[in-house]
Structures are given as structure tokens and as C-alpha cells.
Amino acid sequence: MKNSDTGSFIVNFNLNGKDVKAEISASTLLLDLIRNTFNMKGTKPGCNEGECGACTVLINDVPVNSCLYLAANINGKTVTTIEGLSCNDGSLSAVQDSLVKNGAVQCGFCTSGMALCIKALMFEYENLVNSKLTGKKPKLTENDVKKWLEGNLCRCTGYVNIIKSALELINNVERKSG
């Protein structure tokens, strides 16, 4: 990152698999960078205070509220938004598929954040499985999912089907991937 004469910064990072470059100001938030500069509107501004999780993106595979993340800190990192979650041919990823199949989408405003958080839970679970030396896979419980999704609010579904789709997806993780 360089401090240019105008007081702006240049950041280089990987957005949904592509190396990108952007000029930002000191107080640019990652949320605005994604929505305005890169015109990806799938990342939703909700409360703008880190309470609702609608703006969740993955930074180096962990979920972060993009409304509370300085774009200046994104240099050299990898960002995944909902646009990057679906497969290259445009078809839905397993996470999105599971949410749709289980009727876990109503108004859809929280869905991007939910989907990315569930994706991050899959990574977390894989790491757990890989770190355990015993062959038996631990089963994810409803409470594990609830705890993981505590930072994502949904005002329509009552969470039941969202939790169900996460459980279905992860506890059958060897059948589906992605």
C-alpha cells in the first residue's frame, strides 16, 4: 500500500478468485468498496454496526463484518462474497442449494451473510476433522450451528430451516462439497 499525494491508498487483494486493485480513501469501509467500486450488490448493508451480519464476507476464509472493516486493511488478503460462492458456471453452490431446498430463504436480505457464514462453518468443521487423529467424525449439533450463526439476524424464517440446512449440509459433508 502506498500513500499517494492525494492522501488516498492503493490496495491489492483477491476478490472472488480475481486479483484486483482499487484506490480508496482512509475511511473507506470494505462494504462500500465491494458494493460501490466493484459493483457487487450481494453484500448487504443492514445495521452498519456489526449486529446483523447481513454484510458478512469471508476474509481468508473466516467470516467478518464488512461494515466494520477498514478497506485499507484488505491489502494482500483474499475476499469471498456471495457472488464468489456460486460455481463458475453460475449454478448454485451446495450451501445455497441447501438453503433453497430447505425453504430457508424468505425476504433474502440476510441470506448472503448466512450462506457465507455457513460456508465458513464448513471450513471450520473440515479443519476440526483434519486435526482429529481419530477416524470418527464428530457430529455437528444444533447448538453448534446456533452458536456459530449468533452474529446473523433473520427476521423472517425463525432460523429453523436455516439451521436445518446447515446441519444437513455439514453432517453429510462427504456426499456434497463446495
Partner 1 sequence: MNFELINPQSFKELFLVLKKLKHRKYRYAAGCTDILIELKRNPEDDLTLVNLSQINDFKFRGISQTKNSVRLGAGVTANDIVRNLNIKLLYPVLWEAAYNLASTQIRQVATIGGNICTASPSGDITCALVSLDATCVIIGVHGKREIRIRDFFEGPRQTALKKGELLYEIIIPGNKKNTVKLFSSFIKIGTRRSMECSVVSIAYHIQIDGFNKILTSGFAIGAVAPTIRFTAKACDFINRKNINALTERDAESFALKVSEYSDPISDIRATRWYREKVLFNLSKSIIEDIIKCQIEVK
Would you tell me which residues interact with partner 1 (CB under 8 A)?
1, 7, 9, 26-27, 29, 48-51, 53, 56, 59, 62-65, 67-70, 72-73, 117, 120, 147-152
Pairing relationship of beta strands 9-15 and 78-80 according to DSSP bridges: parallel
* CA–CA distance, 123 with 2 (Å, rounded to integer): 33
Question: SS3 sequence, 124-140?
Answer: HHHHHHHHCCCCCCCCC
Least distance in angstroms from the C-beta of 90 to partner 1: 27
For partner 1, the closer of residues 22 and 29 by Cβ is: 29
Least distance in angstroms from the C-beta of 131 to partner 1: 10
For partner 1, the closer of residues 62 and 107 by Cβ is: 62
Strand, helix or coil at 146? helix
For partner 1, the closer of residues 49 and 174 by Cβ is: 49
Cell of 79: 475476499
